[in-house]
Amino acid sequence: DGGITQSPKYLFRKEGQNVTLSCEQNLNHDAMYWYRQDPGQGLRLIYYSQIVNDFQKGDIAEGYSVSREKKESFPLTVTSAQKNPTAFYLCASSMGFTAGDRGNQPQHFGDGTRLSIL
Amino acid sequence: SQQGEEDPQALSIQEGENATMNCSYKTSINNLQWYRQNSGRGLVHLILIRSNEREKHSGRLRVTLDTSKKSSSLLITASRAADTASYFCATDQGRETSGSRLTFGEGTQLTVNP
């Protein structure tokens, strides 16, 4: 079955440590996204990528970094510069530019990674 | 900044009743989407309504869009306990050259009591 896989489900970070969250999709989607969700709140966009080897900052990119070396993978690194990393992180994908109906596409989500500070 | 604001923040109803959630937004959009999130899980796409559409149906779901008022509503008819979840609206201001980029509201927590 096609879908998005995020790992790990739970992650703990020590002070001063960088951690990387994995996101893999087998939907053949061009576009991928990372969101942060704090308790009782909506999603905020961290980074997004419309195509391989290209990505753009979202609304809250500070303290995070990404790469998009392969179409199916979009890992997110939470760096030590992110002072309040405790949150639920969600990865999503959509068809992107290869779709005939650009800009009118749903996003498909993984089941998230919950990051906490030790 | 949050583009969409949802109302109410929380809604509790009995099984079989209808549930209505509202979403307002501030700037022009390409489309508006509704998603559901069960506790601790990812989001599931429900309906996408384009800026030139006024109403859309999918099973027990009915979505309306009023671009003049910059508002949308989601109606769930004959609700079930399994409909208990958080519901989010998301606006897409994407263009052909920049692709899709969603801005989410803070959600409505729906509880359907058996």
Q: How far is it, in rounded angstroms, from Cα B114 to Cα B79?
A: 10
pLDDT by residue, tens only, chain A of 118 residues: 679 999 999 999 888 899 999 999 999 999 999 999 999 889 999 999 999 999 999 999 999 999 999 999 999 999 998 989 999 999 999 987 666 666 688 999 999 999 998 8
Low-confidence stretches of chain B (pLDDT beneath 70): 1-3, 94-99
B101, B103, B106, B108: best to mutate for the A interface, most A CBs within 10 A? B101
Q: Look at residue A94 in the predicted model and tell me its pLDDT.
A: 92
A91, A104, A115: best to mutate for the B interface, most B CBs within 10 A? A104
**pLDDT tens-digit series, residues B24-36:** 999 889 899 999 9
Q: Which of A4, A42, A103 sits opposite B104 (nearest CB)?
A: A42
Chain A contact for B33 (CB, 8 A cutoff): yes
Q: Look at residue A88 in the predicted model and tell me its pLDDT.
A: 97
Cα A101 to Cα A94, A113, B47, B95, B99: the distances in Å are 12, 31, 16, 11, 10
Run of H or E residues at A91: strand A87-94
Q: Which of B44, B92, B106 sits opposite A42 (nearest CB)?
A: B106
Q: Look at residue B1 in the predicted model and tell me its pLDDT.
A: 45
Residue A106 near residue A94, CB atoms below 8 Å: yes
**pLDDT tens-digit series, residues A66-83:** 999 999 999 999 999 898
